[in-house]
Amino acid sequence: MTPKQQLNEARDLLRTGRYEAALARLVEYEGWPSPQMEQAHLLRAEVLLYRDPVDALEALARSSDVLRNDDVRFDYFLLSGRAYANSRNFDGAAEMFALAEGASGNAPARHAALAYQRARLRYFQADLNPDDPNFAVALTSPDPTIRLSALIWRSWMHSGLNNYRAQIADLRSALAIAREHPAEVELFAVARGVHALLRAASELADHEAVDDARDVFESLEWSPELAEEQFLCLRALAWDAFLRGDSARAQWLYRDAKEVAPSDAWRVMSHVDRGYVARMNHNEAWARDELMQAQAQARSVVWAATKGEERQALVMLAVQFATVDMGQAQRYVSTYTRMGKDSVDPTLAIAHDKRMTGYTYYASGCVNQVLGNTESATVAFETAYKIFDESEYHFRAALAAQGLAEVTGASIWVERARQHAGAFPKSAFYKYLTDRISKKTTPWIEGLSPMQRQLALSLCEGLDNQQLSKRFSRSEFTIKREVQALYDLFNVRSRNALRSVLEERGVL
């Protein structure tokens, strides 16, 4: 095989996300003729960039000899800039891009590539401006991957500014490019686009856009090295299926997602997802099964080593555990908050996604609600609601509103919850939500604290004092006292009596 052929093969492997194989093609190229030898150096560094930017920087530093060849100087500087950007050295990146500009020789393709990288750097620096002229230049690139990627990063800028319709529009344009040049675009970039579109569109009930994304998703040939992207797409598809009312399909997709999940944290997430769908469909036994598996799996996760979105599994777990085991829920929340927001990689797509913060507030609301900390719960739910509402994240907004309805008892929140949930009238959760709201706002419950409400319901579930103590993170003595207070309130003397009273009143 000639050096040229080897280079082409390696490029193709990089494009299709087979990085190991690409690296295997790029060994012993020192004796190659120029410019293949220089290109091999750079290509190897580029492959490494997908795994670890520091490895890429090291490889670039070692191959600075290639700078003697004027033809590859631009590529060298551009790649260095990318590596600096990915390793969060933004000043270094800007410097490299300036050098690249000097070496570009006024070639339009190089200008476009450079403009894309500069636009991307802006995003990393939290400078969200979808009207950045760099995007316009990038979109003139002859390389479909650059055009596609530019659109994706611009879409994230839109979402960071709560402009979700514009985000969807950009992502659809990006995927159109992918469909147009299936053999030229980078799989990694496409996968990111698919995932982003699935998520954005499903939350906004933009079925057309979702179907678009699904078509592209199904046309892709996945590489095991892109398992995370595949996982995220499957998960987003599952979520869409659930919102559209196909819970069974959601469960299959979540199961498929779990099969390809690249980490324990993501596997935890899969179980939580499945448990959630089961619960929304009133299959509590299934929900418990999944939750227990999630809990078991969570023990093997080193949370501090997880990246931003993976880490959300903790929040999801906390929310699901809030009604089962308060102590456990609290532990998950505190683990999450302990790690802090600073550790979220700014180069991630979610870096400027406010909805991530919304989840945390929502989880905190759930925990506080069950603990009976009405004020804290209200503040947390309100903050979460505000974020979700602004994000047109109807499903979550409905949940936050429901939480507020339960905590405050105000009918306005019931209304809002219904409105948001109305965006997904077919989903299991719509019914679940409306059921729950109607129960929780029946007059009998008005005089009770949230803790007492939960306690009453848990009592009717048949939990004994020890289980209640665990669920509410209170001593058995306190539980005993609280239970007695409840009995006094309803003038009953046993769980069964309480149950029949509640049934009579239509609460259960």
Question: In the bound complex, what is the minimum distance in angstroms from residue 242's beta carbon to another protein?
Answer: 11
281 binds another protein (CB under 8 A): yes
247 binds another protein (CB under 8 A): yes
Q: 283: helix, coil or strand? A: coil
255 binds another protein (CB under 8 A): yes
If the CB atoms of residues 145 and 427 are measured against another protein, the closer one turns out to be: 427
278 binds another protein (CB under 8 A): yes
Tokens 């055009």: give the residue: 147
Q: Which amino acid is at 122?
A: R
Q: Which of 257, 199, 269, 271 is nearest to 228 (CA)?
A: 257
461 binds another protein (CB under 8 A): no
188 in Cβ contact with 226 (< 8 Å): yes
Tell me which stretch binds another protein (CB under 8 A): 188-196, 282-290, 301-309, 414-422.
282-290
Q: Which of 91, 90, 50, 56 is nearest to 76 (CA)?
A: 56
Question: Binders of another protein among 419-458, rule CB under 8 A?
Answer: 428
If the CB atoms of residues 88 and 255 are measured against another protein, the closer one turns out to be: 255
Q: Distance between CA 75 and CA 49 in Å, rounded?
A: 14
Q: Distance between CA 399 and CA 412 in Å, rounded?
A: 14
| DSSP element (H, E) containing 174 | helix 164-180
Please select the residue that binds another protein; options are 88, 249, 307, 470, rule is CB under 8 A.
Answer: 249
If the CB atoms of residues 204 and 291 are measured against another protein, the closer one turns out to be: 291
Q: Distance between CA 162 and CA 167 in Å, rounded?
A: 9
Q: Which of 75, 94, 72, 74 is nearest to 84 (CA)?
A: 94
Please select the residue that binds another protein; options are 90, 286, 444, 487, rule is CB under 8 A.
Answer: 286
| DSSP element (H, E) containing 508 | none
Q: Which of 219, 220, 256, 263 is nearest to 237 (CA)?
A: 256
Please give the DSSP secondary-structure letter assigned to residue 213.
H
288 binds another protein (CB under 8 A): yes
If the CB atoms of residues 181 and 288 are measured against another protein, the closer one turns out to be: 288
If the CB atoms of residues 295 and 330 are measured against another protein, the closer one turns out to be: 295
If the CB atoms of residues 288 and 307 are measured against another protein, the closer one turns out to be: 288
Please select the residue that binds another protein; options are 252, 432, 444, 487, rule is CB under 8 A.
Answer: 252
Three-state SS string over 84-102 comes to HHHCCCHHHHHHHHHHHHH
If the CB atoms of residues 296 and 497 are measured against another protein, the closer one turns out to be: 296
Please select the residue that binds another protein; options are 9, 12, 289, 345, rule is CB under 8 A.
Answer: 289
Contacts of 175 (CB under 8 A, 6+ apart): 148, 190, 193, 194, 197, 212, 213, 216
Tell me which stretch binds another protein (CB under 8 A): 242-250, 366-374, 443-451, 462-470.
242-250
Please select the residue that binds another protein; options are 293, 306, 391, 402, rule is CB under 8 A.
Answer: 293
If the CB atoms of residues 152 and 291 are measured against another protein, the closer one turns out to be: 291
285 binds another protein (CB under 8 A): yes
Contacts with another protein by CB under 8 A lie at: 246-249, 251-252, 255, 277-278, 281, 283, 285-286, 288-289, 291-293, 296, 428
